[in-house]
Structure 1
Amino acid sequence: MYPFFRYAKSITKAVIANKKGDQLDLADTSEIEIRCSLTDIDNFLEMNNGRVLTLFDLGRTDFAIRTGLGKQLLHKRWGLVVAGSTVQYRKRIRAFDKVTIKTHVAAIDERWIYVEQSMWVKGKPCSSALLRTGVTSKGRVIETQEVLDAMSKSDWDMPPTGYVAEWIESDDDRPWPPRVES
C-alpha cells in the first residue's frame, strides 16, 4: 500500500520549512529523514527494493515544494511523471533504521529533468537511483524551458554529462516495445 500518511507528513513538513525560509535552489540537495518501518520490509527483514522507489517519491516531493516547483504545479495544473530509472542497491536497510533521503537535480535537457536520489544510514550510502522525470500538462510532457521560465530560472543550464549522458545514450539503444522471445 502506498504510504499516504508519510506522504502527507512530508508535504506538511516541506510546506512549513518553505514558509520558514528553508527554501532550496535547483542546484541544492534536499534531505529528509524517515524511519524504516515494518510496512517497508520484506521477508528478509530489510527494506523491500520496490519500497525504496516508493519512498524516493517523498524526497522528490520535498525537493519540488522547497524549490518552488510545487507551487507552479498547483498554479498551472501540471503533473510530474517518472519516465525511466536505474537503481543501485549496495547496503541493506533494516527495520527501524533511521534513513536520510537525499535528492538533487543531476541534469536537465530539453524535455527531461534527471534527478539523482540516495538513501543513507549512519552516514553510509545504501541505495542510489537516477530518474528521468518530466513535468506534464494535459497528459503530455512539456519542455523544461517552460518549467524553468515559470520558476524564474530561465537562464539555468545543466546539460547531461558523464554517467547521466551515458545512461541516456544507453537507454536510447534499448528496444521499445521490449522483445518477447517464445
Structure 2
Amino acid sequence: MYPFIRLAAQVMRARRLPDLPLDGVHVSHHVCLPWDLDPFMELNNGRTLTLYDLGRIPLAHRVGLITMLRDNRWGLTMAGACVRYRRRVRLFERIEMRSRALCWDGRFVYLEQSMWRRDGQCAGHILYRAAVTDQDGIVGTDRVLAALGQAGATRPIPDWVAKWIAAEDARPWPPMQD
C-alpha cells in the first residue's frame, strides 16, 4: 500500500519550512520500516522509488509547484528515471534524502534525489524526467516557469544528464515485442 500517512507527515513538515528557490535542495529524513523490506531484509528497490516520492512531493510544495499546478489545473507526471542503488539500507536504518530540481529543457524538468546513510555513504541516487501536463499534453517549461514567477530562469544541463537525454532519445519506442 502507498504510504499516504508518511507522505502527509512529510508534507506537513515541509509546510513549516521556508519556501525554496526553484533550484533549492529539500532535505528530509526517513526510516526503513518493516513493510519497506524485500526478502533479503533490506530496502526493496520498488519501495525505494516510493520513498523518493516522500522527498519529491514536499520539494514541489516548497518551490510553489503544488499551488501553481492546482491554480492552473495542471498535472505532474514522471516521464522517465535513471536509478543507481549503491549501498544497502537495512531495517530501522535512518536515511537523509536530498531532493532538487537539477535543470530543465523545453519540455522536462530533471529532478535529482539521493539517499544518504548515517555513515555518510550514498545509498542511492535517481534522476527523474518530470513533465507538467494539461488536457492537451505536456506544458512547456517556459509556461511553467512563467506561472512560477521565474520566467526566463535557466540552469545549465550537466554533461552526464545531456548524455542520458540523448540515450533516451535514441531508445526505441515502443519497445520490440520479440
1:53 has 2:49 as partner:
yes
Distance 2:83 2:136 in 1: 26
Q: Scaled by the length of structure 2, what TM-score is found?
A: 0.95
Aligned pair partner of 2:155 in 149, 153, 158: 158
In the alignment, what sits opposite 1:148? 145
Matches within 5 A, 1:127-142: 127-138=124-135, 140-142=137-139
Q: Which blocks of at least 5 consecutive residues in structure 1 are unaligned?
A: none
1:24 aligns with 2:20: yes
Q: Does the 8 Å CA contact 2:142/2:152 hold for their aligned counterparts?
A: no
Distance in 2 separating the partners of 1:46 and 1:80: 30
Deviations 1:66-104 (A, max 9, x none): 111111112112211000001000000011011111111
The 8 Å contact of residues 98 and 121 in structure 1, kept in 2 or not, is answered as yes
The match for 2:79 is 83
Give the equivalent residue in structure 2 for 1:15: 15
Match of 1:95 among 66, 91, 95: 91
SS of residue in 2 equivalent to 1:127: strand
How far 1:16 moved relative to its partner? 2.3
In the comparison of the two structures, how many residue pairs are matched? 177
Structure 2: give runs of 5+ residues left out of the alignment. Answer: none
Q: Which moved more, 1:155-164 or 1:79-88?
A: 155-164
Secondary structure of the 1:167 match is helix
RMSD: 1.1
Name the residue aligned to 1:72: 68
User: 1:125 aligned to 112, 122, 125, which one?
Assistant: 122
Identity of paired residues, percent?
A: 40
Is the Cα–Cα contact under 8 Å of residues 110 and 130 in structure 2 kept in the other structure?
Answer: yes
> Paired residue for 1:179?
176
Note if contact 1:80-1:135 (Cα within 8 Å) is conserved in structure 2: yes
Please report the TM-score for the alignment, with normalisation by the length of structure 1: 0.93
Per the alignment, residue 108 of structure 2 pairs with 112
Contact 1:59 1:101 in 2 (8 A): yes
- Tell me which stretches of 4 or more aligned residues in structure 1 moved more than 3 Å: none
Query: 2:36 is matched with which residue?
Result: 40
Displacement of 1:139 in angstroms is 6.0
> Who is 2:2 aligned against?
2
